[in-house]
Structure 1
Amino acid sequence: MNQTVGSVQRGKVYVFVLRALGSAGRWWPFLLVGAVAFLGWEELRRIDLNQVRHSLHSLSGPWLLVASAFTVLNLALLGCYDLVTLEGSPVPRTARWGLGTLAFAWSNFLTLGPIAGPAIRFWLYRPYGVDGAVLRGAIVANIVAFAATLAVCFLASWGLHPALAPIFVVAILGLLAVLLGRLGGTARAPQWMRRGIAAWATLFGVALLDWILAACVFVGVVLSTGQPADWHDIVKMFFAGQVIGVISLLPGGLGSADAFWLIRLPIGAAAAGAALIAYRTIYYMGPWLLACLVLLRRGASAGARWLKPVPSILALLIGGGAVVLLASTASPALARRLRILEHWVPVGVVEVSHLVGALTGLALLFLARGVARGYREAHRLTVALLLVGGVVALLKGLDYEEAIILFALGGVTASQAPLFRKEGRAPWFGWTTIVIAALALGIFAVVGFRSYTSIEYQPSLWWTFGFTGHPDQVARFLRSLAFLGISAVAFLLYAGLRVPAPFHPPTRDEIERALKIHEECGTGTSPLMVAAGDKSIFFFGERAFAAYRVVGSYVVVFSDPTVPQGEERDFLEALMALAHEMDRRLVFYQVAPFWLPLLHDHGFSFFKLGEEAILDLEGFSLEGARWKHFRHAVNRLEGREGYSFTVVSPSDVAAHLPELKRISDEWLSTKEAREKQFSIGSFNEAYLTRFPCALAHDHLGKPIAFANVLTGPGRQELSIDLMRHSAAAPEGIMDYLFVKLLLWGKAEGYRSFNFGMAPLASVGEISGARIWERLAHLLFRHGEGLYNFQGLRAYKAKYHPRWVPRYMAYPEFWEWPLAVVQVSVLIAGGWRSFLQPKRGTS
């Protein structure tokens, strides 16, 4: 019992110790930096940032080039770590060297050498099938050689005379190589230690050269300050700072090592600050940025999913770069830089550079849209223009800051070329293009006019040419503004006046092929509306098709595609490939609930459009109290007024076309309406003659109302599309036509009648419905004066149908307003009919 209590007490102590160590590990880097800063607080307080900036501009260019050269040699050497530790793996030597260099260049910025970056190594070596245990062993061996060499160099530089230090380092590393080589030959040695003495000696040799070259970079940067310093003292400070950086666990020793160097380097705090900025840039930041570009390109080539947002991010950055270039071109250049430029280039080059700079900024804003969409051509043009913009920034006023930004953006954008595979076919003209052009002109004008307030406008300014004078720069701004405005207007006119790709109606053979497929393996009557000829047809083999129309940036598929059971997923993949090839996004309009799981798996969002009214004909008759309203309407028109009803076969419809045309024109004129399209048919002789037609005749036998009848395969469903009456038709003629058609369909053996959809019926009624559907419900309740939603629902409800929901599927949640407007305009036949539904709809 006492032993149990003692074990519990010891367990609590262990838990407390582990938690304390965990907390200490979390706060250790900050504690170490704080300790270093506390010990050298007086020296740090005396740092003057203005002096640091002055020292930074005074750094010696040749010494910085020497430091850069040693950095390049060091990077080349870093790949040799993996050459040694992964010997015998399936990775070729050149690949090991390249991947090792890349991994070190990237991870060196995050900590020191191989101490970071295991994850990036696993990702890089994954395609070569390297065993995980082998790769982990190589990483541990690299860390051991790297850290042990640092420790030995640190001890030698601080404890021995400079003449003896190299001998000591080589001797100790040789002993370590022998020791590890012998231990690695034992049966119980871990994986990372299992290397021969020669391999360990080579690895320590690489690590030693690595640290020597790194120290040379540091020495070169410190000597570039021009301050007198002994190289041995600089080397001592270098290794001490690196040890502090490793112990601090901060990325690259940033902060901890820097604080130590600022305090202890024997060159003054300001010079030390400038040297450290140069050192961090040359040895850490530069290689890391290059490694990032290479890694991003490799990820793009491999199709990494985490790079999917990159085109949109690049578009934002490119847009920002364009704004920078426009603002830079509109603002005055520094007189000191212009005087330098005057000695090298003629004034004409400066003038042309301003014009090209303004035009390049505008073009980059336009191209950012194409980059966001993943267009290959837009990407290539953007890279070229970013490089042009960088050159122009230098030629117009030695604006090297803007040039660096544009060159860097060009490099980053070029590295992502594999992500841009689309052919850009979307129309360029639209409100977005107009807004972009206005934005470019606005930025340029606002920056320019606010920068040149001290000069009074005179017409002669337009013809003033010079280098450094203020009027010369005002003149350049005015000419560039005019040139930018003319270019923007010219582009908008060109884009707006281009003839758009026309819609090509399907051929007669294509319509016949689609109707045959539907007869063999389709259901319902909605797909029969492909015969209206106002939709394109996508065929998938010989047993599936879908009717669609391209509008704006969308491919809108009408109703349910006709697809054999079990082939829906393959059909969707092919349809999505078509949309991708056309550079459009898929929208499904009026699809049944059956398709929702399949579309959900492809990432679509859904909006309930309304409910379709389906009447089972077996239960319909004119008997009983339930149907007495319809019975009275039929008796009144047939018994009292002598009206009659017939269904004309497709072959006989042509003889009635003149009368049907007269009725249709009267109906459109009375309703002040125009024909619709896509989801509703229009008066089309070829369309009407493909199907039976229901006619209502007056007492003289003259047709006064008609409806074209859509007969589904296997007599499963009956429906109508066009239903119109003349101005002389009595009240109740539509009820009469419907009731007689329902009785005819029942007698002919049809199972159901489809009254079509009641838009927004039962949409968004529940408080927990989606925001878009709740907004649609408000329109359903309060938009009756314009759209008659409730009246249409009530009319169909009196036939006591069952209600089947219909949906719209669209790619992203936020696209609902765009997709709805585009489809609504398509159906209405134009913006006028869409905005004035009482004066432009059928």
Structure 2
Amino acid sequence: MVEKSITWFKAHLNKLKIVFLISVIIIVLFELSTIAKTISVEHLAIIFSKIKIGNILLMALIGSISVIPMIGYDLTLNTLLEQKPKKLYIFETSWLVNTLNNIAGFGGFISAGLRSEFYGKQIAGKKVVRALSKILVFTMSGLSIYALLSFFLVMFDDSNHYLRQYWIWLIGGGLYFPLIFCLSLFGKGEYLGDLKSSQRWQLIGTSFLEWSGVLISFISTGILMGISVDIREVIPLFIAATVIGIVSMIPGELGSFDLMMIIGLSALGTPKETVVAWLLLFRLFYYLVPFIIGLILFFKNLGTTINLRYKGIPISLLKELAHKLETFFLYFTGIMLVLSATIPEAFSQLSFLQRLNPIRSRVIVVFPAILLGFLLIVTGRGISARVKRAYIPTITLVTLTFVYSLLAGFRISTGIFLALLLLFVIFSKNELFREQLVYSAEWMTIDGLIMGGLGILYIIIGVYNSPKIHHRHHLPDFFLFPSEQIWIVGFVAILSVAFIILLLIHFFKNKRIEIGEPLDEMRVQHILQSFGGNPDSQLVFLKDKKVFYYNDGKEDTVFFQMATFNNKLLVMGDPSGKKADFEPAIEALIDEADRYNYLPVFYENSEEIVMILHEFGYDFIKFGERAHVHLPDFTLSGKKMKGQRATFNKILKAGYQFDVIHPPFSAETLASLKEISDEWLNGRKEKGFSLGFFSEDYLQRASIAIIKNETEIVAFANFMPTYSKTIGTIDLMRFSPTKAPSGTMDFLFINLFQYMRDELELDYFDLGMAPLANVGTSRKSFTQERIAYLVYNFGSRFYSFGGLKEYKDKYADKWFPEYVLYSRDSWIGYVMIALLITDNAPVQNTKNYHGLHRFIFRE
């Protein structure tokens, strides 16, 4: 019968434990609810209100310091495991393990699991279990020592008659330490008996200090509350209540311990409300606050681990999110300040505006509200642009806003909001890396709409509130202004702030620094001759663009051609030089531009560059197509070339000849070419950037193809060195409208194709790009491409894009797409306007640069 009972008991042990736990919880909850009915909430509130803030901070400090001794467990554990992790790692993980175990309890199972995870990953499982068993067994030794001391204090002190009823719990808890000590000293088991003497005393000392810290935290909390504390009574009661709580196995001893302390301290003369407040503060500052610190340390370590695992992306995303929130709060606060001065009645009548407004001042002072509001928006722009110079002004303005809210009727919610905003600004200092503010058209649009809208709203409300104006329609009450005089003060503030805004923006802009350097012919020639170029590389010698050089640490290997418009760094064509260095060169250019607050726009780029820039987060649109003629297959025979063949033979019979002349060219030759160019231009201003123009220095750099009759030259085209053995092209193509016969362009092209194929042995002739060819014309085209088509098509004064594509199609064998790539921070409309203006801007006249527009075949 006995054996059956034992077998049944073992089989149902887990269920019995659950029933026991639930029973204890029910009894405790019942007793607590009974006690709660006798507690006055008002009295409790009075108790809390009487505690000084300094005392509360001291409670938190003592509670946090009291947790520190438990770190000794983990130092000993790592000694047992024969490993030496960093001390900081032990401190942070141990803090988390112990503070979580304090709250959760469950007999130390949680601490065992966490310690195994933090310290036992590289150790054999059995060794970890043995070490953990030694740690867990000794965690209660300090409590047991205090239980023994309390037992003797209760039994031999005649003043502790009430506490003698707990003697059984105190002696029961007190016997734990001698038993464990003897087992560890004389036992032979591997789970307890093989402890070294130093390790044994380390664990005992750690446990004793731990429970000393608990008692100090509890007693000091009572003293700081102003309670008269008798240590001889409090310590035995606290130890007995703790033992009972541990036996109950309720997580954190919640309930059973509290019940015992409320009953016991009340019996000893402390009011119940005071005991409840005492326990709440003790649990807050010994359990909860250290646990929150532990969580922060945990997420710090977890975040560092995750960040390393995912190559820094999580932290980068968090920083970006924090930066955007900071910008939003600055704009939001500024807008709310201005609105509160513009429609003050709305903020007093409409509840949703009251809840929305972070600056809940009881009195709205118009002048500083408008001044601070607009300036916060401007500093928000500086922070959004990540400008270094925005840091101090932003901190100053947030501080002034705090002072304003304090003087105008301070609220705690306002203080918390502004304090958090100030912390955002302070901790974002490292995110502010740009040397200057370049106010982009996009930013001007956003800020103009916000600040302009606020200013116009203020003026309109002032006009409607004027007693001299009569209205047909009744205005809502919240549009009414307190007085005309106050409105005038606000209007003066707007005029004043406009001037201050200009000064602040000027300060953010700093000394304007542009990207790139003037042409250095030796550096460019070294790159082109060493690593090659492309059909656009020769345009660098026009000297109308700046050049960005990339050096691999040993020599220059890549260069870019660029011009600046507003904050757009317009990069012309593919980079020239060593293809293997294109990606690092592009990254270097983007980083340099980012430092000085420019956004690169890459213009007329191949698919190869598109794929590189896409990895850097750039969007792209197709901008047109580049035409190539396959020279080995070129022929005038066949039905397709019937018209070109007839034109070619007609001009040839008329006595016109094709020839190629080589530099250096005489002054007479250049003068003749200049005359043809001026006649062809017919007074029009010419363009630069992606276009060549008439320059004696530029023309002297390559051969020139001419069409002439017996007496004079009537057309010409200069060769464009491509620094390639497979492809050739030309740049300027000019003819005399009065002297050159009809069809001269076709005659020149056909001769060029034959010459480059037969004399230069090239494979392709580059006819240049047809802008907007097959771009944005379909109903299913990307919106960006359709916008680009509209802007560029309506903005160009020279081109007939459709005709250009049709003309080149007569000869082209292949069409290659060309793209515009731009940052996602740019708006495509403004990108196209920048390209349009830069590409169509007239070239400045200098001694060597004459106004002449390049012939359309290049673009």
Q: TM-score, normalised by structure 2?
A: 0.67
| Shift of residue 807, structure 1, vs aligned partner | 3.5
Equivalent residue for 1:531? Answer: 541
User: Which of 478, 491, 494 is the aligned partner of 2:501?
Assistant: 491
Equivalent residue for 1:401? Answer: 413
| Shift of residue 209, structure 1, vs aligned partner | 4.5
| Shift of residue 120, structure 1, vs aligned partner | 12
2:556 is paired with a residue of what secondary structure? coil
Equivalent residue for 1:436? Answer: 447
Mapped contact 2:221–2:282 kept (Cα < 8 A): no
Question: Aligned ranges for residues 300-699 of structure 1 at < 5 Å?
Answer: 304-309=312-317, 310-321=319-330, 323-324=332-333, 327=336, 330=340, 358-417=370-429, 419-420=430-431, 422-428=433-439, 430=441, 432-433=443-444, 435-436=446-447, 439=450, 479=489, 482-492=492-502, 495=505, 501=512, 507=518, 510-539=520-549, 540=551, 541-564=555-578, 566-640=580-654, 642-652=655-665, 655-669=668-682, 674-697=685-708
Q: Deviations over 1:264-300 (max 9, x none)?
A: 9999999989997998699757994898599879969
| Shift of residue 768, structure 1, vs aligned partner | 9.2
Q: Deviations over 1:170-211 (max 9, x none)?
A: 737746974896799954679999993223223433542454
Equivalent residue for 1:66? Answer: 55
Q: Deviations over 1:535-556 (max 9, x none)?
A: 3222222333232334444544
Taking a change above 3 Å as real, the CA distance of residues 734 and 373 of structure 1, as seen in their structure-2 partners, is: same
Cα distance in 1 between the residues matched to 2:67 and 2:796: 74
Equivalent residue for 2:203? Answer: 200
Cα distance in 2 between the residues matched to 1:176 and 1:473: 85
Equivalent residue for 2:477? Answer: none
User: Which of 733, 747, 750 is the aligned partner of 1:736?
Assistant: 747
Mapped contact 1:318–1:409 kept (Cα < 8 A): no
| Shift of residue 221, structure 1, vs aligned partner | 10
Mapped contact 1:265–1:272 kept (Cα < 8 A): no
2:528 is paired with a residue of what secondary structure? helix
Cα distance in 2 between the residues matched to 1:197 and 1:806: 77
Mapped contact 2:703–2:718 kept (Cα < 8 A): yes
Cα distance in 2 between the residues matched to 1:360 and 1:600: 41
| Shift of residue 710, structure 1, vs aligned partner | 0.2
Cα distance in 2 between the residues matched to 1:471 and 1:444: 15
Q: TM-score, normalised by structure 1?
A: 0.68
Taking a change above 3 Å as real, the CA distance of residues 542 and 626 of structure 1, as seen in their structure-2 partners, is: same
Equivalent residue for 2:720? Answer: 710
Mapped contact 2:718–2:731 kept (Cα < 8 A): yes
Taking a change above 3 Å as real, the CA distance of residues 648 and 439 of structure 1, as seen in their structure-2 partners, is: same
Taking a change above 3 Å as real, the CA distance of residues 563 and 739 of structure 1, as seen in their structure-2 partners, is: same
Taking a change above 3 Å as real, the CA distance of residues 445 and 70 of structure 1, as seen in their structure-2 partners, is: farther
Cα distance in 1 between the residues matched to 2:598 and 2:808: 36
User: Which of 58, 64, 76 is the aligned partner of 2:65?
Assistant: 76
Taking a change above 3 Å as real, the CA distance of residues 652 and 409 of structure 1, as seen in their structure-2 partners, is: same
* Letter paired with 1:610: G
Mapped contact 1:612–1:805 kept (Cα < 8 A): yes
Cα distance in 2 between the residues matched to 1:279 and 1:378: 44
| Shift of residue 644, structure 1, vs aligned partner | 4.0
| Shift of residue 754, structure 1, vs aligned partner | 0.5
Structure 1 position 826 matched with structure 2 position 838: yes
Question: Aligned ranges for residues 24-43 of structure 1 at < 5 Å?
Answer: none
Cα distance in 1 between the residues matched to 2:102 and 2:330: 26
Structure 1 position 759 matched with structure 2 position 771: yes
Taking a change above 3 Å as real, the CA distance of residues 412 and 791 of structure 1, as seen in their structure-2 partners, is: same
Cα distance in 2 between the residues matched to 1:191 and 1:764: 82
| Shift of residue 796, structure 1, vs aligned partner | 1.5
Mapped contact 1:506–1:533 kept (Cα < 8 A): no
User: Which of 801, 821, 838 is the aligned partner of 2:813?
Assistant: 801
Q: Deviations over 1:554-594 (max 9, x none)?
A: 54433232333544444444444433443444443333334
Q: Deviations over 1:654-681 (max 9, x none)?
A: 54444544554555557xx643333223
2:731 is paired with a residue of what secondary structure? strand
Q: Deviations over 1:400-451 (max 9, x none)?
A: 432222122222442344x42613323146552564366357669979999x
* Letter paired with 2:497: S
Cα distance in 2 between the residues matched to 1:33 and 1:482: 69
1:758 is paired with a residue of what secondary structure? strand
Mapped contact 2:775–2:789 kept (Cα < 8 A): yes
* Letter paired with 1:680: L
Cα distance in 1 between the residues matched to 2:658 and 2:733: 14
Unaligned runs of 5+ in 1: 1-20, 26-31, 225-229, 334-349, 459-469, 831-840
Equivalent residue for 2:846? Answer: none
Cα distance in 2 between the residues matched to 1:381 and 1:290: 36
1:695 is paired with a residue of what secondary structure? strand
Q: Deviations over 1:435-471 (max 9, x none)?
A: 4366357669979999x9999989xxxxxxxxxxx99
Equivalent residue for 2:474? Answer: none
RMSD: 6.6
| Shift of residue 526, structure 1, vs aligned partner | 1.7
Mapped contact 1:78–1:104 kept (Cα < 8 A): no
1:611 is paired with a residue of what secondary structure? strand
Cα distance in 1 between the residues matched to 2:481 and 2:656: 89
* Letter paired with 1:651: P
Cα distance in 2 between the residues matched to 1:823 and 1:112: 68
Cα distance in 1 between the residues matched to 2:781 and 2:498: 45
Cα distance in 2 between the residues matched to 1:258 and 1:657: 103
2:701 is paired with a residue of what secondary structure? coil
1:799 is paired with a residue of what secondary structure? coil
Question: Aligned ranges for residues 43-192 of structure 1 at < 5 Å?
Answer: 59-86=48-75, 90=84, 95=88, 99=92, 171=174, 174=177, 178=181, 187=190
Cα distance in 2 between the residues matched to 1:233 and 1:67: 25
Q: Deviations over 1:229-253 (max 9, x none)?
A: x99999899989999999789xx99
| Shift of residue 753, structure 1, vs aligned partner | 0.8
Q: Deviations over 1:145-172 (max 9, x none)?
A: 999799999999xx99667689669737
Mapped contact 1:138–1:192 kept (Cα < 8 A): no
Taking a change above 3 Å as real, the CA distance of residues 140 and 542 of structure 1, as seen in their structure-2 partners, is: same
Equivalent residue for 1:337? Answer: none
Cα distance in 1 between the residues matched to 2:571 and 2:334: 43
